[in-house]
Each structure stands twice: as structure tokens, then as C-alpha cells.
Structure 1
Amino acid sequence: MQPHPRSVDFMPTPADPARQPRMTTATMHATLLLAAFLALSLSMPATANDAHATTSTPTPVPAAPAWLAEVEALYDADLRVAGLEDRTFAPEHWWQIATPLLSSRNGFAMREIGRSAEERPLRHVSWGRGKTRVLLWSQMHGDESTATMALADLFRFLGEHPRHPIVQRLRERTTLHFFPIVNPDGAARFQRRNAQGVDVNRDARDLATPEGQALKALHDALAPDFGFNLHDQRPGYRAGDSERGVAVALLAPAYNEANDVNEVRGRAMEVAGMIRAALEPSLSGHLARWDETFNPRGFGDMTTHWGSSTVLLEAGGIEGDPQKQLLRKHTFIAMLAGLDSIASGSHAGVPHGVYRELPENGAVWPDLAIRGGTVVSDRLPPVRADVMVGFRHPLAEQGGTISDVGDLADSPSRHSIDASGLYLVPIADAEGRIAHKRIVTGAPAHFHLSRDPEGRDIVWTLKRDVDPAHPRP
């Protein structure tokens, strides 16, 4: 490697004593004074949350909660609520399962606070009698259901384990308010937007949707001290510049364009740090931080602006967990760790660096690359090309669409198939008709991998969904 043209070579050279200047007494005194000043400056500790302090060593992550192993075992044995094994449940199905857990005998209260655009009920659940108010809301995006599953598990823990020390602490010191499935119309279709086609999490400023209006009205009525904004993100996200996928991403949202840290946001950073501490034993290297750019349309940013210390929790993906059941457990642990840190006060004083030194969400890797094959199209000459497939449900590899075709050798992907020597042939029906005659960007992923261009000697088939019994050639 050639030296940078602006770099300086600090290799020592022998000194000629005859050419060295002699140091006077005054110069010596000045030099000693400067050295003492520098030593004093370097010895002065920076405050833990000094945004301008720099350090060459990472901020130590607090120890995991003492209860972690015991609660994880309890979760596996008793807390996971049955009937939510498929993450694409309808909102009515979820409420049918959750409502029996929400009895007044177990300390819960539930009321309707509005209706969706399609007249589905919007419900507010509350529990606890403590001074500190916490609002948790889930599934503003209808296809982001992991936290909603975990909320059912949390309801079981709070209601059926009243003598557990964490439950007692939460009951006496906090009042928890829940708004599950903010966007039930989107959830019914398992789509991001509501029935009107609006992204509810971009409606905090206009409040044009009935779902956004209900959330804002609930926040105004409660004036919560803390908030948990519960989402899912694409499993293709990488942790920083690494090749590691992100299982959970956190954010203490900005409340202004300057990205300042006031007392409200600082508390959110502390809570996020405690969540990180609880997740590190299981997910080290697979945790990240969401982009901190202020968005005045987003509810997480605006609830911080309105005075609630808000933490965004994004459930990403774990390979081999297509229905996000393992991630459901980690989301439960994350919520519980954050809530317990609030009830116990253990978040206070946690250095902001524990949260801020998480790597940012990096590049989003596509789902499946089929590399080195030859693409066959109707009435066109074959072409050597890589093919990228994106799935509507990436972890389950369902709902595939062609996202790119060409030389993709420099494009990473979550998974890949070596199709060297094989042909990608559009699939024909029983009558020999080909519904999708060409493998082009935007077309459904509907083709054979074959040893011949006619598609007779088939080694693998993709009909939008990957066959779990034959996931790869």
C-alpha cells in the first residue's frame, strides 16, 4: 500500500547532538508546565452522558437482569400463549385469545376508544395502580405482529403470576396502558397501511386516520411518562457494516430537527440501554440502532416531543424462525426489561453510550439470489443472468417476486443458490400454457431450475412460495 499523500512518516531517524538546540531554563519551565496541564486534562473523567465526550473504549454494558434466566424458563414452561403460532393472524382471532386473559379479577380493565376505518373496535387495556404511567402500542403497521403476540404473553404473566416480584413491582409502581393492534384493518389483510391506504405511523401530524386520532387522543388523556412503540423491521437489515442480521433494533427517537437530548429523551436512552443489557446474552452482535433522524409525522418522534420518554422496539429476524416465535420471546424479554427498569428505577444513570454505541441499521440484503444460471424467456434468446427474488414473507420465503435480473455478482443476499449449468424456465400449466412467460423484474417468481432449456429435467421449483419440504436444489 502506498502512503497517503498527506500522511506523515513518523519513523525515527538518528539525531545529531551537535545540531540540537539547547533548552533554556525558561523553556524548560514552560515545557514542564504544559506537560502538567496535559496530564491533568487527560486524567479528568468525562461525565457518563456527556454527548461530546470521546473515549477509545466502548461503554460497558450493564449486567443482564438477575431475573433473566428464571423468567426465560418460566416463559418456556408457562407464559407463551397458545393459538398464535402463525404470525398472520386476524385481529379478531387475537382478541378472542387475549380477552380471557384480561379479566378484572387479574387486575385488568378494557374499554373501546374508537373504531377503525372499517369499523373494527380499537381497544385500550390498563393494568396496575402505580404512579408512573406507561403506554405501549403495537401493530400500527398491520403486517408487524411480533409484539402483539408478545403482549398476549405479557398479559398472562401480569395476570396469572401476581406474586412474582417483577409483577408486584410493576403493579405497585406503574400503571400500564396498552393499545394493541392500532391498525386492525391492515392486520386483517396483513398489510402495512390501513384500509384507506395511509401509513398510520406517518399520521402523527395530520391525524387524518381514525386509528391515528385514537392513539393521539389516548396519549393526550394519559400523558404517559414513558412509551413503547412496537414494530417489526425487514430481516434483511445488517448490523452496521457487518454481515450479521439484526434481530432487534432500538431507538430513543429525536424530538426535534437538531437531534438534541433533553431529560425526556435521555430517560428513553437509559431504558433502551437496559433493554440492550437483557438481550445481549442471547443476541450479541445482532442488535442495532434505528436511524435517529427526526420525523414530525412519526408517532414515536412526536410522543417524545409531547413529553413521553419513548423507546422504539423493532423485531427484525432470526434465520430459521419463520413465524418469529423465538423473536416473540425476545420481544417479551425486551418489554419486560424496559418496564422493570422503569418500575425499579434501575435505568437511572445508565450511560447513553450503552444505547448510542449500538451499530446503526446497515444495508438491507435481498432475500434470495440465484446465481450463474441461464434465463429462458418466451420468444427471446436465452441469457446468462443472476436472478434476485424478494419475498413478501422473507423468513418463511413466501410470496416471491423477481426483484432484479442481470450481473448481481457484487450484490449480497441473505441466501443464494448456485445455478451454474442450469436454466431458469418459466412454469407451464397442465395445458402447456405459461402464465408468466418471462422472468423479468416485477414478475412473480414462478419458474423451474432445469438441466435443459425446455424444463423437462427439473432439479428445483419455485412457485412464489418455497416448498419447506424441498427448500433448495
Structure 2
Amino acid sequence: MRENFKSIVRILAKELYDLYDSFKIDAISSNHFKQSEMLEWIGNLGCSNLIECEKIGNSAEGRAIYLYSFGNGTTNILIWSQMHGDESTATMALLDIFSFFSKNHGHTVTKNIEKKLRLLIIPMLNPDGAEYFTRHNAQLIDINRDALALITPEGKILKETRERFRPAYAFNLHDQATGYTVGLTKRLTAIALAAPPFDEEKTDNITRIKAKKVANVFAQIMHQFIPDHIAKWDDTFEPRAFGDNFQKQGTSTILIESGRWQNDPNKFFIRKLNCVGILATLFAIAIGETTSSDTQFYDCLPYNKNLGYDCIIRNANLRANSRVPVVKVDVGINFERKFNKDTRVFELNAKIVEVGNLENFISVEREIDATGKSLDPQRIVIDQIFPANEIDSLFK
């Protein structure tokens, strides 16, 4: 890291990290929430004099989609979150950022961002998906695969917003699936980053290099809080994705994927990292730090590897049927939180994903030492979904 980065952005990032509990929105008690709750939290901030709100369209089911603007600068930055309705971590972080601006209007971070930048924030692009906490929109379409066809109203709104404001930078905020690790290590990926390519050859042009510089600064900020828990997201070109297309169209776009942290089911620690990282990176853009940055730290990040499960049963005995011998196995299980439309409540289910040797895998939430215990072969069915509280009944 360069000394200038250490002395300015790094110090302010640590200050934001330490201040976080003083400005985060305490009313957010779960990462499962609906648009109506989000709007109430924003309204309670009383920051309409600082942050402008504009309705920019409606979702497939008719819910309003809002754009929030902050700053008087000449550099437009588009930030959107929750285009997948069950990926809410960054949405929480963006609301915390609104709160920071409101409670710390005189802070040097707020003042520099307000003076130099114009933030254009869509905190919940897919309110229908958020209503049922599901990835897709109400048309059952993945919005992030609709950048070309534009058959979803949400996708059209995002494209129209970029064309209207022509932002210099964009932040595309997501949650990644359970179990990603930093390369082949057994360390959970807390944050994964990418400067998406605009072609299959992964060519670097001025636009993408600028995005890599932003990702480089963000990664260095994260390094002081979560060293060895930062990875690079798969940068294979996806022609239907918005990030790849915005990069092609001249907006330097950075993808931030919120990963996991042990004993953090609501991802509040990852929410904090997002908030601090985005604020400090925006400050870095405002003072020109990203322009003078290189890309070395980002370029050297290991890629994500999927080497984790929510729960692992280790060293259990399994006789799959009467025709085969008993073997010692591990069982990898993932949890799925689904909204039950009939009962209107969220249910935590489990799914057996893999049986065999999982010594190179890590458990995120629970690990069971089953030495000397035998599994019930009638309950060990790959991909079968069952209530998560029935895991202990997998044994005879």
C-alpha cells in the first residue's frame, strides 16, 4: 500500500469502523425485511433535506422503485442493491450510509463526498423479490440476466437510469451463496470483488482499469479489518449481466459480493464491512485517490472457491442399503430460508448436498462430530429438503 493511502483513506476507514455503532440503524433486526419496512426506516431518519427521493418506475407487481440522490458534485456514481430479492446485506449498509450522512453532516467524509460526487442510489431494485425473499422478480426472471432482452420492468429502470445520468462509476451490490472460501484455503470469503469484463477475452481498457483501481482501494480498505478473507469473484464474461454491459458502455463498474462470517446469520458484520468499505471508497474517489491507485492488490486476490457448507456431519457411519458395506462419511448440508406464502412466515430448511470425504471443506454455522454414530439411510437423500431442526433425526 502506498503511504498516502495509509495516511488518509486507511485512517478514515478505521474511524468509520469505530463510529459505526453510533450511526447504524438499530431498528434493522433481521436481514429479512420488506420494502415497506425499508421505507419506514428511511423516513425515520428525517434526512429528506439532504437526500432527494424520486420514484423512477414500478416493479412487475406494481411496487414503486425509488432513486435516492446525495451530493452536488460533477462525478455521478450509480449504486444499486437487491436486484436479487434475497440479497439484502448491502441494502442494510446503504441505509446505514444514509444515517451516517444525516448524523455526521459535518464529517470530512460526508463533506468531500457531497462536494465532489453525486450519488444515485437504488437501495432495492427488486421489491417484489424482497417481499417474498426470493432471488427472482415476480415474473420468475433473474433481473441480472436481463440486460439485453429487457423484458423486466426492473431491468428497464436500471438501464434507463444509467442512460439518464451517464455515471462515471457504478457499484453493483450482491450477496454470494453459502460456502465460498478464499481460494483453496479454509478461510471464509467475507467480501468478494470484481471489475467485470466487457468481452470474452477479458480485455482491459480505460473504463475497466478505472474499475480495477476502485476495487483495489476497496480491497485495501477491507484488508485492515478482514485480512485473508477477501477474494475475487469469477470474472467470466456474462453478456446478459448489467455489470458487464455497463462496463462495455463506459461506466466503470465494481461488483461487491457479500459473503459469510461465522456466527453471523443475519450478516450484520458483513453489513458493517459494506457500509465502511463503500463510504471510504467513495471518499477515496472524491479526493482522487482511486485515480492514482494501481491495481496490484486487486489483481493478486485469490479467486472464490466453493469449499464450505452451512453444516457438516463428520465421521458418521453409513450403510446406504443392505447390499453394500458400512463406510465412514461426512455429510455436507446447506440451509435455505424460504418464505411460505401460505403461512406468511420464513422457514429454515436444510438440504443434503454431498456425502463423502469433506476434510477440505469448512462448516459455516454448525459442525457435528458423529464418531461412532450411524446415519439412517432412509433419511440420507441427496438434494432432499427437510426442516433444519430435524438434522439430529438423520441418525438411527
- The reply to whether TM is greater than 0.5 is yes
Q: 1:284 to 1:409 in 2, by over 3 A?
A: closer
Q: Which deviations, in whole Å up to 9, do the C-alpha atoms of 1:380-425 show, x marking residues without a partner?
A: 999655432111159xx942112234x3355624253221222335
Q: What are the within-5 Å matches in structure 2 for residues 51-450 of structure 1?
A: 62-63=5-6, 65-76=10-21, 78-101=22-45, 103-105=47-49, 107-374=50-317, 384=327, 385-392=329-336, 398-405=348-355, 407-409=356-358, 412-414=361-363, 416-425=367-376, 438-445=379-386
How many residues in Structure 1 have an aligned counterpart in Structure 2?
Answer: 379
Provide the secondary structure at the position in 1 that maps to 2:372.
coil
8 Å CA contact 1:399, 1:465 repeated in 2: no
The unaligned stretches of length 5 or more in structure 1 are 1-58, 427-436, 447-461, 467-473
Look up the SS of the partner of 1:373 in the other structure: strand
For residues 363 and 323 of structure 1, the distance between their equivalents in structure 2, rounded to whole angstroms, comes to 20
Whether the 8 Å contact between 2:186 and 2:307 is mirrored in structure 1 is no
Structure 1 pair 171–409 and aligned structure 2 pair: CA distance change class (3 A): closer
- Whether the aligned pair in 2 keeps the contact of 1:389 and 1:445 (CA below 8 Å) is no
* Change beyond 3 A, Cα 1:172–1:79: same
User: C-alpha separation between the residues in 1 aligned to 2:158 and 2:373?
Assistant: 53
2-structure distance, mates of 1:100, 1:230: 24
Shift of 1:443: 2.1
1:89 and 1:464 map into 2 onto residues whose CA distance is 26
Instruction: Identify if the C-alpha distance between structure 1 residues 122 and 465 changes in structure 2 by more than 3 Å, giving closer, same or farther.
Output: farther
> Once the 2 structures are TM-superposed, how far is the Cα of residue 112 of structure 1 from its aligned partner?
1.0
Letter in 1 for 2:203: D
Letter in 1 for 2:382: T
Deviations 1:309-363 (A, max 9, x none): 1111111011111111111110001111221111111111211112111111123
Match of 1:463 in 2: 389
Using the alignment, how far apart are the partners of 1:109 and 1:60 within structure 2?
36
Query: Structure 2 vs 1, CA of residues 92 and 465 (structure 1 numbering), >3 Å: closer, same or farther?
Result: farther
**Distance 1:273-1:399 versus aligned 2 partners, 3 A rule:** same
TM-score between both structures, scaled by the size of structure 2: 0.88
SS of alignment partner, residue 28 of structure 2 = coil
1:239, 1:359 within 8 Å by CA — same for their partners in 2?
A: yes
Distance in 2 between the 1:413 and 1:356 partners? 26
Alignment-mate amino acid for residue 389 of structure 2: K
Q: Cα distance, 1:374 vs. partner?
A: 4.0
Query: Hey, what's the Cα distance between the residues in 2 that align with 1:116 and 1:91?
Result: 12
Per the alignment, in what secondary structure is the counterpart of residue 230 of structure 1?
A: strand
Secondary structure in 1 matching 2:10:
coil
Work out the CA distance in 2 between the residues paired with 1:329 and 1:248. Answer: 11
Taking structure 1 as reference, are residues 299 and 102 closer, same or farther at Cα in structure 2, changes over 3 Å only?
farther
**CA 1:84–1:465: 2 relative to 1, 3 Å:** farther
Q: Secondary structure at 2:84's aligned position in 1?
A: coil
Larger of the two Rg values belongs to structure: 1
Which has the larger displacement, 437-446 or 143-152?
Answer: 437-446
Q: Is the 8 A contact 1:376 1:382 kept in 2?
A: yes
Distance 1:410 1:245 in 2: 15
Deviation at 1:367, TM superposition (A): 2.6
| Cα contact 2:332–2:353 (8 A) shared by 1 | yes
Percent identical residues: 36
Counterpart amino acid of 2:373?
L
Partner amino acid, structure 2, of 1:93: E
Aligned to 1:8: none
Alignment check: 8 A CA contact 1:377 1:438 kept: no
Following the alignment from structure 1 to structure 2, what is the Cα–Cα distance between the partners of residues 102 and 302?
A: 36
Cα distance between partner residues in 1 of 2:353 and 2:93: 32
